[in-house]
Amino acid sequence: MPRDVASLVLVTVHADAMAPEALKPVNVVLTPGEGANESLQVFARIAGVTLDDPGDLATEKGEAVCWFVNDEPFVYRPVEPTVDLKRHRRKYAQGDLEEDAFYFTGPDDRLHLRVQNLMLFSQIAEGIDDETWAWHLRRGDYEKWFRDAIGDDDLAGIAAALADDDDPKETRRRILEAIEQKYTRPAEATT
């Protein structure tokens, strides 16, 4: 591999799976905050560069670490995309969130209905009884799932704002309408 490369981006989850010759010209390393210390140490070892003790690169959710190889690593917050990512919207609407699935159980665990995406959530929500719907809403289950599994703070905020509402039909209508509007309604045609 040529050592004098003007511009090159390498993307890998495991630097130790890369050839050392490929990593030697790298002068900037970006890594998610979680596990950053270990990632940087592995890169340094494989690339044959010195990494002074970076200390504790404690990061919060959503932060990352940048290391200009001749400098000290630092924590930063990547800029959030301003464009809605259609691929991710489709995953949440129709895909399988696997271990992040929602379960409608209701009081006393009477039900065990697995919901792996927002489309199925909407279908099942329309059919469950008002008591089960309201029970999950009051406990903050929808808010937590929308925020943590779906990654949608706006939808979570709607659920949180409706948590004390005593009208299960209205709260269900408003939440399902918000889901449809953002995730399942076809895009408007533009001329």
pLDDT in the model for residue 14 = 87
* pTM of structure: 0.54
pLDDT in the model for residue 82 = 61
Cα–Cα distance measured from residue 95 to residue 42, given in angstroms and rounded to the nearest whole number: 34
Question: Which amino acid, one-letter code, is at 128?
Answer: I
Is residue 63 predicted with pLDDT exceeding 80? yes
Whether the CA torsion 91, 92, 93, 99 is positive or negative: it is positive
> Residue 171: CA atoms inside 13 Å, Cβ hemisphere, count?
26
- Judge if 162 and 118 occupy the same domain: yes
Question: Which amino acid, one-letter code, is at 87?
Answer: R
Long-range Cβ pairs for the range 161-168 (8 Å, 24+): 162/137, 163/137, 163/138, 164/138, 165/137, 166/134, 168/130, 168/131, 168/133, 168/134, 168/137
pLDDT in the model for residue 189 = 43
Average pLDDT for residues 27-45, to the nearest whole number?
91
- pLDDT-derived band at 89 (thresholds 50, 70, 90) equals low
The DSSP element (H or E) to which 75 belongs, if any, is strand 74-76
pLDDT in the model for residue 44 = 93
Domains of the chain: total: 2
3, part of any domain: no
- Judge if 36 and 93 occupy the same domain: no
Percent of the chain at pLDDT exceeding 90: 51
36, part of any domain: yes
The per-residue pLDDT for range 101-151, each reduced to its tens digit, is 999 999 999 999 999 899 999 999 999 999 999 999 999 999 999 999 888
- Judge if 69 and 23 occupy the same domain: yes
Q: Which CA distances in Å does 175 have to 105, 126, 154?
A: 18, 11, 11
Cα–Cα distance measured from residue 54 to residue 37, given in angstroms and rounded to the nearest whole number: 7
Of 24, 42, 76, the domain-final residue: 76
**66 strand-pairing partners:** 30, 74
C-beta neighbour count of 74 within 10 angstroms: 12
- pLDDT-derived band at 91 (thresholds 50, 70, 90) equals low
Is residue 61 predicted with pLDDT exceeding 90? no
Domain limits at 156?
86-184
26, part of any domain: yes
